[in-house]
A = this chain, B = another copy of it.
């Protein structure tokens, strides 16, 4: 008996999925009179944030986008506190007509104070889709109702990480192209582990609005999100009496985004042949995940950044 995983399922990295969007962004950028300018705001000494900023620069340069990194707080000097000056940097970029998009590297203070900062970024320059206005539109499915906003209104941005996950599911044909647009996830059962306003809840809303039955799992409850019919487009949410184990047993797709390295989805609970996507920084799936999953995407960050650059 071999105790090592045999790795039956396909390991799918984000690069080929991201690649499908590169030409789109490059072509749009090439049509601009001058390159769009993205300002990144780095306010902490966090190494992952710094490498994400470096990666943003690299990606922008490849695509003909001007990237300006504004360092403040502990990112600028060891004398300054973590996050010092970040609010001022956001306000400055909000008011600068030469800036087309603003990206802030979170976490900074964590929790509510980071949420506050996310609301301070002008919705006209929020490329990440973190402003509550956008979540409101998404939960109410307004993004489909009006594709071009009236003058003076801002285009609604879909939060980038949930959108990147949807694009991954389209790429691997979980979304069925033969179904009508807006209903292409019909018939799929998807478990989403995380119900934050930044990832889990907008993702559940997107998938349910597209026809999926979504089991939304949070630390203390499980809900079902479903759109009742294409004539009543907005999804509804019901409480569920299913356990996580029962959810996993019936799910075609399992997406996990739990910011805790100790959290692991049990491979033995998964349905044979399911599709698993890890969105957490640390892996939420066990090493032997591909013994059960037919397809496993370990990270979506490279797709996320392209969704974000498309919003410039």
A-side residues, CB < 8 A to B, are: 81-82, 84, 87, 111-113, 115-116, 119-120, 132, 135-136, 139, 195-198, 201, 237-239
Contact = CB atoms under 8 A, between A and B. Distances in A.
A115 B197 contact: yes
What 6 A-B pairs have minimum CB-CB distances, sorted nearest first? A112-B197, A81-B239, A119-B132, A116-B197, A112-B196, A115-B115
One complex includes copies of this chain to the number of: 2
A132 B113 contact: no
Given A112-B196, A116-B136, 9 more contacts: A81-B238, A84-B237, A112-B115, A112-B197, A113-B195, A115-B115, A115-B132, A119-B132, A132-B132
A43 to B, nearest CB: 13
Contacts of A239: 81-82
Contacts of A238: 81
Contacts of A139: 87
A148 B130 CA distance: 31
A120 to B, nearest CB: 6
Given A81-B238, A238-B81, A239-B81, A135 B116 contact: yes
19 contacts: A81-B237, A81-B238, A82-B239, A84-B237, A111-B196, A112-B197, A112-B198, A113-B195, A113-B197, A113-B201, A115-B115, A115-B132, A116-B132, A116-B136, A116-B197, A119-B119, A119-B132, A120-B136, A132-B132
Contacts of A87: 139
